[in-house]
């Protein structure tokens, strides 16, 4: 019995080229940085009427990945703000009013 499946020729070459292009796009996409979100730490440091708080960059949603890869993010940033007494005594600093860092928060996946 003779097989009618062609193992070479222009169609097979086109399929191989297409698969190679798709594989390279998948590898490129894993190296492209995605936009993340800055998250403030709960604790802050008071300096007179000013305060500082650390912000950590992370993906906006949970990322599921295999054990051989890891999420790499922008380094944490320290931001200065203003103390607020909020519901406490007038001379206290119960809330540190800050804005997220102006720098971009980005993340990408890397192989371990």
Q: Please name which of 33, 30, 29, 35 lies closest in space to residue 110, comparing C-alpha atoms.
A: 30
Check if the beta carbon of residue 59 is closer than 8 Å to that of residue 108: no
pLDDT at residue 82 in the model: 97
Q: Please name which of 81, 16, 17 lies closest in space to residue 45, comparing C-alpha atoms.
A: 81
pLDDT at residue 28 in the model: 47
- Which residue has 């703000």 as its token pair? 81
Strand partners, 39: 56
Q: Please name which of 45, 42, 77, 30 lies closest in space to residue 58, comparing C-alpha atoms.
A: 77
Q: How does pLDDT run along the chain (112 residues), one tens digit per residue?
A: 555 555 666 776 776 766 665 555 544 444 689 999 999 999 999 999 999 999 999 999 999 999 999 999 999 999 999 999 999 998 899 999 999 999 999 999 999 9
- Which residue has 């222009």 as its token pair? 10
pLDDT at residue 27 in the model: 47
pLDDT at residue 72 in the model: 96
């Amino acid at each position: 019995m003779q097989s009618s499946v062609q193992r070479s020729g222009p169609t097979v070459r086109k399929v191989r080229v297409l698969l190679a292009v798709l594989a390279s796009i998948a590898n490129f996409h894993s190296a492209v940085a995605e936009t993340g979100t800055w998250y403030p730490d709960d604790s802050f440091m008071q300096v007179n009427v000013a305060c500082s708080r650390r912000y950590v960059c992370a993906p906006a949603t949970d990322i599921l990945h295999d054990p051989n890869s890891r999420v790499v993010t922008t380094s944490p940033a320290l931001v200065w703000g203003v103390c607020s007494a909020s519901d406490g005594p007038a001379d206290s600093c119960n809330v540190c009013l800050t804005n997220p860092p102006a720098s971009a928060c980005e993340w990408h996946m890397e192989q371990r």
